Chain A
């Protein structure tokens, strides 16, 4: 079993739809949670960064972390064709552990928003 599981999709939605992306994880030591967007042939771009459980909103993006269920989500409201990309969840452990600082990634979800 992988430490982080992410549905690879692909996911295709019409413009304006609400998109829900999810990851589950097994390592209870993870405390930092991130969502990255990666366009083809580009480096990942940090979209959201959250620490521990809770919600965080930034514009059209909302990140949710539920540590009790080991489940994180990214919601995209009013999706646009420019949101078409691969979305990667990533997480890491806090200082003190051997895995501190290293990101463990999900497999990535390919999203297409069509006009």
Chain B
């Protein structure tokens, strides 16, 4: 149980285009999902908290107009990287919180490369 999927697993796009990444909780409902970014050999950096039916909460320094988050259902959150630039190239990982405790289950990640 507690499986989270992400799609796509890998994407290459041209500078200036937008890319959408989907995060789904497959066997549980998640009112809260999280989006992280991870650079090589570094720990995860929280970008934003996504709550079903309401606006996402962004961490300091994260541009909300560049990283659009939508959490339209209890099993799906999407992250859209708008007007992507090479510096946006990274490993993006989502997680979903199970129940009212602190445990989070992570998706397999999406590797974004902007050329």
Contacts and interface: CB of A to CB of B under 8 A. Distances in A.
Chain B interface, DSSP helix/strand/loop, else mixed: strand
A60 interface: no
Contacts of B49: 101-102
Interface in A27-62: 31-32, 34, 36, 41-46, 49, 51
Contact of B106 (A31, A32, A44, A94): A44
Given A88-B43, A102-B49, A108-B43, A51 B106 contact: no
Contact of A42 (B34, B104, B108): B108
B106 A45 contact: yes
A103 interface: yes
Contacts of A32: 101-103
A71 B24 CA distance: 33
The residue in A90, A91, A101 that gathers the most chain B C-beta atoms within 10 A of its C-beta is A101
30 contacts: A31-B102, A32-B102, A32-B103, A41-B109, A42-B109, A43-B4, A43-B6, A43-B93, A43-B108, A43-B109, A46-B2, A46-B103, A46-B104, A46-B106, A49-B102, A49-B103, A88-B43, A90-B104, A95-B100, A101-B34, A101-B102, A102-B49, A103-B44, A103-B95, A103-B102, A103-B104, A105-B43, A105-B44, A107-B42, A107-B43
Interface of B: 2, 4, 6, 32, 34, 42-44, 46, 49, 91, 93, 95, 97, 100-109, 111
Interface of A: 31-32, 34, 36, 41-46, 49, 51, 88, 90-95, 101-103, 105-108
